[in-house]
Amino acid sequence: MQFMFRKQSTNIVLIGIILAVASSGLIFISARNANEGWRNIRDDVVLQLMPATHKENIDVLHRPFISEVDVGGVIDAGTKYQFVNSVMLEEWNIDEDTLYAQASNNLDAISRNIKVEVAQASEEDETAKYVIVELDDGYAAARLLSDGVRKAITRELGESYIAAIPTRDFLIFWHKDFSLFDAFASQVQNEFDQEEDYPLTPTLLFVDSSGIQEMINNEL
């Protein structure tokens, strides 16, 4: 028996702005494509973020992202997805690197035409920018792993900025010198605390050309 995660959505509001979507519903069904050959399934595997504790409950392929969050691969089935495990790799006769490389490419592919909204709290203050990603496919937070998405955010916010992924379906970026930094950080914590189905982390992340760093007490 395998875990399959349903992808459903309702709106979330952060400081008066619709930012992302929330999802619910964990169900059990038989593995969709676990026995299909890699050639038939490789276009459907996508990177996905999950709590680091997830691996304690089910057999799932995982790599560390930050202290509270791991990166895995999933088989996307449209309205549901299934995490890839070590048994599947054996059946497909591939290694982890092959899986992660393909899943990363596929994440980039499904991220090329996403809607990115840039908002500015003050017309006089160039640092008062934040970027909203609205999605209903279950991979909002995972878009942080996409090189293409991060490059798009860099064009809007500069070479370094803050990212937050309190839930699987919640992704927001803001300027590192944003005047509402503390207010946004507080709301991120609230969203994490209120999420029952797919929480990730309230920890803020600092993004620059060197990569993604976990912030401690909202500081590097």
pLDDT at 30 over 90: no
Q: What percent of the chain has pLDDT over 70?
A: 83
pTM: 0.83
Domain extents for the chain? Answer: 2-110, 116-214
Confidence class for position 36, pLDDT limits 50, 70, 90 = low
The pLDDT of 98-113, averaged and rounded, is 96
Alpha-carbon torsion (57, 59, 64, 69), positive or negative: negative
User: Which token pair is 199?
Assistant: 């929480």
pLDDT at 20 over 60: no
| pLDDT tens-digit readout, 190-215 | 999 999 999 999 999 999 999 999 99
Q: Are 169 and 140 in contact (CB under 8 A)?
A: yes
pLDDT, residue 8, reads 54
